[in-house]
Amino acid sequence: MPLLRVRVIDLETAGTAPHEVCEIGWQDVLQDEGGRWVVSKERGAKFVDPGGPISPRTMAIHHIRDDDVTGAGFWKDVAPGILRPDGGVLALAAHRAAFEQRFCTPRLSGGAAWICTWKCALRLWPHLPSFSNQMLRYTRQPEGLDHATGLPAHRAMPDAYVTAHHLRDMLKEASVEQLLAWSREPGLLPRAPSGAERGKPWRDVGTEALQALARERDLDVRFSAETELRRRGQLPETAATPPAQQRLL
C-alpha cells in the first residue's frame, strides 16, 4: 500500500542574512491502514547556515544564535532531502504557508502542492476568536498533543508538531483536495477586521461598509468582502480576487 503522507514544514529565519533560513522543522501526518489520519513519529529539525549573521530581533524570537548554525549546510543543500522525502508526499503543509513557500520553491520541493492550515482553519472553525498556530493549540486543545514536544514555541520542529495536530483534525472534517482548494484562494476571514464594523460577521456588515472593504488592498479582506457581496447577489460570480496571501491576522 503506498504511503499517504502530508509533511508539515516550519521555518525559522535569520532576519538579515542573504539566504534567510536558519532552521527547518518537519512533522509527518499519515493515513493509516484504517483510513485515519494520524500524527506520526517522523519529525525532526535541522539548522541551516543563513549565509550571514542572525539579527538580534529574530534571535529574541527563536533564540537561535550564530554559534548554533556554524557548520550547518546551506539551504539549497539541506532543503531537498526534507521537502522531497523517500516515498513522496501528497502535499506539504504549513501554518501561513505563503511564508514557507517563499523559501521552499518548486525547484527545491519538486513542485509539491501546499496546504495552508491558517486558511483552512478560517473555513472549518470560523467561530474561534483567533487563528494563530498557538491560539488554535490552546483554544482547541487537540487530542494527543504532548505539551513538552510542542515547546519551545517559535522553533521549527515544535511549531511543525503543533501544526500537524491541527492538520490531522482538519483531515477528519475535509478531504486533502478540499484543503488544497481552500489553500489556493485568499483567506476567507470570518469577521470584518477593521473599521466601524470591526468584529462583525460578514452577514451583519452594512452594504456601504462592505463595498468599501471590497476595495481594500489587502487580498484576504477584499476576497472576504467580495464573497459576501456575491452571496447577496451584489457582485457577479466572475469577479474573483486573485489567489494570494500577503497579510498576517
Q: What is the pLDDT along the chain (249 residues), one digit of tens a residue?
A: 457 999 999 999 999 877 799 999 999 999 999 999 999 999 999 999 999 999 999 999 999 999 999 999 999 999 999 999 999 999 999 999 999 999 999 999 999 999 999 999 999 999 999 999 999 999 999 999 999 999 999 999 999 999 999 999 999 999 999 999 999 999 999 999 988 899 999 999 999 999 999 999 999 999 999 999 999 998 876 555 555 444 433
CATH number for the domain whose boundaries are 5-184: 3.30.420.10
What pTM does this model have?
A: 0.92
3-state helix, strand, coil in the chain (%, to 5): 40, 15, 45
207 by Cβ neighbours in 10 Å (0-12 / 13-18 / 19+) ranks as exposed
Query: Which alpha helices (H) appear in 32-96, and where do they start and end?
Result: 56-62, 66-69, 75-83
What element of type H or E holds 27? strand 21-31
Distances (CA, A) of 211 to 49, 167, 174, 218, 226: 47, 34, 31, 14, 8
Do 137 and 95 form a contact (C-beta atoms < 8 A)?
A: no
Within the chain, what is the greatest distance between any pair of CA atoms?
A: 59
Q: Which residue ranges does the chain devote to CATH 3.30.420.10? A: 5-184
Residue 27: strand pairing partners: 8, 43
Strand partners, 191: 201
Give pLDDT, residue 2: 57
